[in-house]
């Protein structure tokens, strides 16, 4: 690039034959004046462009952070709900505890639950452990044994009463704290003929706020609507927790968590009046922030408050200011800087576009879990292969493959193990396939394989080879365990057994279901209704497990 720039003034110098130094100066002035003006204009426009680009990047980063914070909050709530569910499963297996609840024996319940309460609190952060009778009157709070006898009218308890099954959700407490609660009705027997009471577990969600603050590296506050609180109870609770109750600090909300003392009056006013879901701008201590608001909804669907998260954008603004300053400082060398900068920028933008296009192509054509072609791409590839086959009078075969008893894998080993099996099966099929074959995830545990230039008989052999390979393969499901799986495969070919892509899919699918109906772990080939389908003899379906 440097050589390209240096040639330009030499070329200009060779253009006219100038006799005097005055004429040369005049010519240079005539040429350089408009060039300098044009360069200055371009530099100004470029400076504005840089500023706007950096500003858009800042707003984009704020929006991305807001989305990630919202997702983080909801993901942590779901994770904690699963923790509560696992703890509840442990408690529910305690027959002695059920007997004590059925008898209303507080002493026995306390003796049985106190060690669990301490263990749950230490290991999982579970802070609430209730036992209530069938009338929802509290029999025992394992975490506060001295409090009992009051009716539990929270939404989760009433929902468990209404549905007869476990209910969970975030609920607002009298102190303005948000608690994730899970309530399970207990019955005398498995037939659920007689209700003996309710068991409730809960945990404060303040730790979620801490994780959000750790993620953003700035402050985060939880503001709760006053209309859902009683002032006397809230102020009493704040004093009990060692906090200074400031009921009147905000017009409509109170602070549940956070440290507003470090914030400016301007920010406090914005937090009090801003609409949930919006984005506000503020500054303090020479630091620029964006404040995003996330609506907090309880189990009953009420908007009980909002989370305010401060995002520090000062580094981004500083970057924008530096970019503008450098552009202005480079005015003396505007032509070379402009050309060089556009050269570098074009490369950067080109790489960015190429990267984005590659990512978009990946998202549009590939399944996110297995990496196989997705269903939409399957139809596109099948149409292309059928068109090619018709043009050159060649065959196309389609295999429709389904994992046998896949639900058993999920139920026995968990959905994560099922995902691992799907990934492993996809890798196996890709290894077995030719370069011109197309392995696609059709949906759920169904996989299709398009076999270009493969006729019916050859497709049967391919299907049987794949079936046998899957049967022999061990799939790691974690925990030091591996399992065998089997698959059922349907085979159909064009034009022998189908006259269109839709018919080819339907016929392969029908053959696969025939394989399922005939005992699984086998290959079945589609034949017209007036003939018998061809079966490839296979072993009976088995799902075995061994130590890895």
Lowest mean pLDDT among 155-159, 162-166, 260-264, 337-341: 337-341
Mean pLDDT of 279-284: 55
Q: How far apart are CA 72 and CA 304, in angstroms?
A: 19
**pLDDT score, position 540:** 32
Phi-psi region of 171 (alpha: psi -120 to 50; beta: other; left: phi over 0): beta
- The answer on pLDDT for 486 being more than 60 is yes
**pLDDT score, position 455:** 94
H or E stretch at 362: helix 334-365
**Is residue 64 very low, low, confident or very high in pLDDT (cuts 50, 70, 90)?**
confident
Name the token pair of 505.
Answer: 């899919």
**pLDDT score, position 261:** 54
Name the token pair of 422.
Answer: 């799907």
Whole-number average pLDDT of the chain: 79
**Is residue 2 very low, low, confident or very high in pLDDT (cuts 50, 70, 90)?**
very low
- The answer on pLDDT for 162 being more than 90 is yes
Q: In what order do the strands lie in the sheet with 545-547?
A: 475-478, 481-483, 545-547
Residue 224 near residue 254, CB atoms below 8 Å: yes
**pLDDT score, position 534:** 44
Q: Do domains 74-202 and 208-317 have the same CATH topology?
A: yes
Chain-centre distance of CA 31, in angstroms?
59
H or E stretch at 440: strand 438-443
- The answer on pLDDT for 201 being more than 50 is yes
Question: Would you call 417 helix, strand, or coil by DSSP?
Answer: helix
Q: How far apart are CA 204 and CA 180, in angstroms?
A: 6
Q: How far apart are CA 226 and CA 273, in angstroms?
A: 13
**pLDDT score, position 275:** 56
> What is the domain partition of the chain in residue ranges?
74-202, 208-317, 375-547
Q: Which of 172, 173, 176, 170 is nearest to 246 (CA)?
A: 176
**CATH no. for 208-317:** 3.30.450
Q: Where are the beta strands (DSSP E) in 124-252?
A: 128-132, 138-141, 167-172, 178-187, 195-204, 220-225
Where do we find the tokens 């017209």?
528
pLDDT digits (tens, 9 = 90+) for 350-407: 456 556 666 777 778 899 899 999 999 999 999 999 999 999 999 999 999 999 999 9
**pLDDT score, position 195:** 92
Lowest mean pLDDT among 26-30, 293-297, 494-498: 26-30
- The answer on pLDDT for 286 being more than 70 is no
Lowest mean pLDDT among 99-108, 192-201, 230-239, 339-348: 339-348
pLDDT digits (tens, 9 = 90+) for 76-113: 889 899 999 999 999 989 999 999 999 999 999 999 99
Q: How far apart are CA 465 and CA 180, in angstroms?
A: 52
Mean pLDDT of 284-312: 77
CA dihedral 365→367→370→371, nearest 10 degrees, is 20
Name the token pair of 90.
Answer: 């442990």
Residue 132 near residue 197, CB atoms below 8 Å: yes
Residue 168 near residue 187, CB atoms below 8 Å: no
pTM, entire model: 0.49
Where do we find the tokens 């230039």?
453
Length of the chain: 548
CA dihedral 75→78→84→90, nearest 10 degrees, is -100
Mean pLDDT of 328-347: 53
Instruction: Give phi and psi for 58, each to the nearest 5.
Output: -65, -50
- The answer on pLDDT for 462 being more than 60 is yes
Q: Domain 74-202, CATH 3.30.450.20 — does that match?
A: yes
Q: Which of 362, 73, 46 is nearest to 216 (CA)?
A: 73
Of residues 326 and 387, more confidently modeled: 387
Q: How far apart are CA 271 and CA 136, in angstroms?
A: 38
- The answer on pLDDT for 532 being more than 50 is no
Q: How far apart are CA 306 and CA 69, in angstroms?
A: 13
**pLDDT score, position 74:** 85
Question: Would you call 399 helix, strand, or coil by DSSP?
Answer: strand
Question: Would you call 299 helix, strand, or coil by DSSP?
Answer: coil
Mean pLDDT of 410-417: 91
**pLDDT score, position 264:** 60
Of residues 180 and 287, more confidently modeled: 180
* 382-387 contacts at long range (C-beta below 8 A, 24 or more positions apart): 382/438, 382/450, 382/501, 382/504, 382/505, 383/501, 385/438, 385/450, 385/452, 386/494, 386/500, 386/501, 386/504
**Cα distances (angstroms) measured from residue 346 to each of 47, 436, 446:** 16, 36, 44
**CATH no. for 375-547:** 3.30.70.270
Q: Which of 508, 523, 501, 369 is nearest to 444 (CA)?
A: 369
Residue 399 near residue 490, CB atoms below 8 Å: yes
From the DSSP assignment, how many helices (H) and strands (E) are in the chain?
15, 19
**pLDDT score, position 542:** 28
**pLDDT score, position 140:** 93
Residue 424 near residue 480, CB atoms below 8 Å: no
**pLDDT score, position 456:** 93
**Is residue 269 very low, low, confident or very high in pLDDT (cuts 50, 70, 90)?**
low
């Amino acid at each position: 690039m440097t050589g390209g720039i240096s040639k330009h003034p030499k070329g200009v110098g060779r253009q006219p034959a100038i006799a005097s130094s005055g004429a040369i100066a005049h010519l240079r002035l005539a040429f350089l004046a408009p060039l300098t003006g044009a360069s200055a204009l371009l530099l100004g426009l470029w400076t504005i462009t840089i500023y706007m680009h950096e500003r858009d990047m800042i707003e984009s980063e704020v929006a991305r952070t807001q989305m990630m914070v919202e997702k983080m909050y909801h993901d942590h709530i779901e994770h904690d709900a699963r923790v509560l569910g696992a703890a509840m499963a442990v408690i529910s297996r305690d027959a002695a505890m059920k007997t004590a609840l059925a008898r209303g024996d507080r002493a026995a319940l306390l003796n049985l639950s106190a060690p669990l309460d301490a263990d749950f609190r230490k290991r999982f952060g579970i802070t609430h452990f209730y036992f209530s009778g069938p009338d929802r009157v509290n029999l025992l709070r394992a975490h506060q044994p001295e409090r009992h006898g009051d009716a539990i009218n929270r939404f989760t308890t009433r929902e468990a009463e209404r549905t007869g099954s476990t209910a969970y959700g975030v609920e607002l407490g009298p102190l303005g704290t948000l608690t994730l609660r899970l309530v399970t009705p207990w019955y005398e027997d498995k037939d659920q003929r007689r209700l003996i009471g309710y068991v409730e577990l809960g945990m404060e969600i303040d730790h979620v706020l801490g994780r959000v603050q750790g993620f953003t590296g700035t402050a985060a506050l939880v503001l709760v609507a006053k209309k859902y609180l009683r002032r006397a109870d809230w102020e009493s609770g704040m004093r009990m927790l060692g906090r200074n109750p400031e009921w009147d600090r905000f017009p409509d909300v109170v602070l549940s968590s956070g440290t507003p003392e470090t914030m400016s009056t301007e920010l406090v006013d914005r937090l009090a009046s801003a609409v949930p879901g919006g984005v506000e701008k503020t500054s303090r201590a020479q630091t620029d922030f964006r404040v995003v608001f996330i609506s907090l909804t309880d189990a009953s669907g009420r908007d009980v408050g909002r989370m305010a998260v401060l995002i520090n954008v000062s580094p981004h603004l500083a970057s924008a200011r530096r970019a503008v300053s450098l552009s202005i400082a480079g005015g003396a060398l505007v032509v070379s800087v402009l050309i060089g900068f556009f050269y570098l920028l074009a490369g950067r933008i080109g790489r960015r576009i190429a990267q984005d296009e590659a990512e978009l192509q990946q998202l549009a054509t590939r399944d996110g879990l297995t990496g196989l072609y997705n269903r939409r791409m399957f139809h596109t590839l099948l149409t292309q292969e059928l068109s090619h086959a018709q043009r050159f009078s060649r065959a196309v075969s389609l295999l429709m493959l389904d994992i046998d008893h896949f639900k058993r894998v999920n139920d026995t080993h968990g959905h994560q193990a099922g995902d691992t099996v799907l990934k492993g099966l996809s890798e196996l099929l890709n290894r077995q396939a030719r370069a011109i074959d197309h392995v696609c995830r059709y949906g759920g545990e169904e996989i299709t394989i398009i076999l270009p230039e493969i006729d019916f008989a050859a497709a049967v052999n391919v299907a049987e080879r794949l079936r046998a390979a899957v049967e022999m393969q061990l799939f790691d499901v974690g925990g030091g365990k591996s399992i065998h799986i089997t698959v059922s495969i349907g085979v159909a070919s064009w034009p022998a057994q189908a006259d269109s892509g839709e018919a080819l899919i339907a016929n392969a699918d029908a053959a696969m279901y025939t394989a399922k109906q005939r005992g699984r772990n086998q290959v079945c080939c589609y034949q017209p209704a007036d003939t018998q389908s061809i079966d490839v003899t296979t072993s009976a379906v088995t799902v075995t497990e061994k130590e890895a």
